[in-house]
Amino acid sequence: MFLRQKLQEGLTAWQKLLLIAVLGAMVLGYIVTDPRQSMEEIGYRLAWLALTGVGLSFLYSVYHKKAELNVQRSALLMLLIVVQIMIINWLQDLLPIEIGRYSVTNGQLLLALPYALAPGMTAVMLGKKLGVFATLCTTLVGMALMPADFTMANYVVLSLMAGLISALLCDRVARREKILYAGFVTGAAVFVAAVALGCFRGSGLYTLHDGFHVGGFAAEAAVALGVNFVVSVVVGGLMPLMERLFNISTHITWLEWSDMNHPILKKLQMTAPGTFHHSLYVQRLAEAAAEAVGADVTRAGVCGLYHDIGKLNNPQFFTENIGNQAFSPHNDLTAEGSARIIIQHVKDGVDIARKYKLNSRIISAIREHHGKLLTFYFYRKAMDRYVEEKKKFDEGLIDTCPEEVSRAVFTYEGPIPQTRESGIVSMADAVESATRSLVNPTEEERRSIIDKIFRERILDGHLRDCQLTLGDLDKIKESFLTTLSTMNHNRIAYPPPASQDDEAESAASVHQARSAS
């Protein structure tokens, strides 16, 4: 009853994580035990699994960031670990295997184990840190399945080596071909290490146990390379399905979103060219700043590219798309009406992003890039109008007392930035917009306006939840200054010729110089 009630009320994130861990441990306990085993062996395996689970859970909660501890990531990690252990257990149950007149030994079976499955898929989907963690998990849990002899030691060496290689090579892959490359390297490393272990520990590899046999040597090499090649194909093929099931986007998908041929970006170029150009600047600023503080460069850049897509619905109302401010459509609107249109672009952007199934991180950056800031220009315009009409009312020039200006009408709904990348995009957006209004600014002028923006954002609490330290903000400011100076450098102005004779003389000089060269 209690469990049913909690499920109906809804579990918290930490309760869901605990439930995933408990269910995963129960499944692993079922896999590593067998009714045919003695009670002593069952007790040993369960005790080993329990101690391993406690240690790994503590390491996971301490070592990894709070942002990484979410239900989807944890569920995917547990699923991959369970699948790999199931495959290892199934292959162990097949022993002894007779192939013709040959018998497959425990040592030879080590070549056929899919060491890279969980680490490789985890690294591709969640990054190399969790890929390394998956390597530790599968190695330690898999030890419960190995016989307590030299095979267990060899398994530990091969599993750790293969998992680490796969996790490092599959991190932030930009092309699917790299996954195949990682599979080939992992397979080659497993084979070489297995041969070395057979040479020095007598693992039972028959190619070296009873003398060298070319056929057996080639067959074992083919098994090691073939298994890891199949694993890499499975990892690459399951990526789209895993992304959809667990709402996780790989580095490849993030790069695909940065393609300028994406329908949203193509429409932005045609419908709101000023906004598109602004977004390109924000993307470059965000990428440089993210690199400076160790944040996710690709994610920050893509979020910067899409942060203003809500302006597609009413591009003519945003200043970067208005050619002549004298004919601005805001001239015919009240300050409240203008503010509502400006604020609406955040909600419109979220709707567009959901329509095109963009990543939740992009949607969050769109929703958060203005936080709970004030549309100050229109708020000030409304206040000036209120003061003017109130003065007229006090002087008896008008009969109706004007209503006080509601600050809420001119304030974005928020929330404030919740991640480092979202905070960086928010600041890049503000800095790019502010510095664009400067005419031939000096570095001191840029620094002054950037310092002012950062000081205001810090004081009003805009950045308090995005995990950016004061040291990070100093690095971001310097990054913005450097990036702006490289993007907005001045060119030398070439003076026109004073007269037609000077122009002819200049042309003749150029002709003579070319002839001489």
Predicted local confidence at residue 1, as pLDDT: 42
- Sequence spans of domains, the chain: 2-248, 253-375+411-487
The pLDDT tens digits of the residues spanning 220-258 come to 788 889 999 999 999 999 998 898 888 888 888 888 899
Using H for helix, E for strand and C for coil, what is the string for 327-342? HCHHHHCCHHHHHHHH
State residue 62's pLDDT score. Answer: 60
In DSSP notation, 41-103 reads HHHHHHHHHHHHHHHHHHHHHHHS-GGG--HHHHHHHHHHHHHHHHHHHHHHHH-SEEETTEE
- The DSSP call for residue 323 is S
In this predicted structure, what is the pLDDT of residue 7?
A: 42
Q: How far apart are CA 75 and CA 472, in angstroms?
A: 32
The two structure tokens encoding residue 327: 């004919």
* Two structure tokens written together for 426: 């928010």
Q: Identify the weakest region by mean pLDDT among 56-70, 425-439, 446-460.
A: 56-70
Phi, psi of 104 (to 5 degrees): -80, 130
Predicted confidence (pLDDT) per residue in 189-227, tens digit: 998 888 887 754 444 444 444 555 555 667 778 888 999
Q: Is the dihedral of CA 269, 275, 310, 327 positive or negative?
A: negative
Identify the H or E element spanning 104. strand 102-104
* Length of the chain measured in residues: 517
- C-alpha 417: how far from its chain's center? 16
Q: What distance in Å separates the CA atoms of residue 247 and residue 208, rounded to the nearest whole number?
A: 48
- As a CATH number, domain 253-375+411-487 is 1.10.3210.10
Across the range 443-470, mean pLDDT stands at: 92
